[in-house]
Amino acid sequence: MYPDQPFDLVKLENDFDGIHFGIYANHELTGVVSLFINDRIGQFRKFAILPEAQHQGLGKQLMEYVIDFCAVQKLTKLWCNARVNSKEFYTKFGFYETDQTYTAAGFDFVRMELLID
């Protein structure tokens, strides 16, 4: 996520309210994402694959798993604040871009949403 920053930067105040998913490759935790649900709307945060394991399809598997999980839980919407340089990753799954943007920790973000069937 932020490999050059202190580990505490990825901790969230409401981490205990989240559902945390991981993907393993060769028995090693290789990717993570945290889901927070309110009123049948899910927000995922801290989605990251280890740098050396990126672009091998693991992020896609993890994203598909979370979307399926949201459908089984009968959520209506899933959203995230996407890094602008990763937004095409999300459009592949049907996420659409909103006009809500901001900058933090040196990255530009845009809110992206997916309606769940």
Ligand X SMILES: CC(C)(COP(=O)(O)OP(=O)(O)OC[C@H]1O[C@@H](n2cnc3c(N)ncnc32)[C@H](O)[C@@H]1OP(=O)(O)O)[C@@H](O)C(=O)NCCC(=O)NCCS
Which of 34, 35, 42, 59: binder of ligand X (CB under 6 A)? 59
CB closer to ligand X out of 51 and 74: 51
The answer to whether residue 49 forms part of the interface with ligand X (CB under 6 A) is: yes
- Rounded to a whole number of angstroms, the minimum distance from the CB of residue 91 to ligand X is 8
As a whole number of angstroms, the distance between CA 67 and CA 50 comes to 21
Q: Which of residues 2-41 bind ligand X (CB under 6 A)?
A: none
Q: Is 31 exposed, middle or buried (0-12, 13-18, 19+ CB in 10 A)?
A: buried
User: Is 89 among the residues that bind ligand X (CB under 6 A)?
Assistant: yes
CB of 102 to ligand X, least distance (A): 13
The DSSP string of 57-105 is SHHHHHHHHHHHHHHHTT-SEEEEEEEGGGHHHHHTTT-EEEEEEEEET
Summarize as ranges the residues that interact with ligand X (CB under 6 A).
Answer: 1, 47-49, 54-60, 82-83, 85-86, 88-89, 92
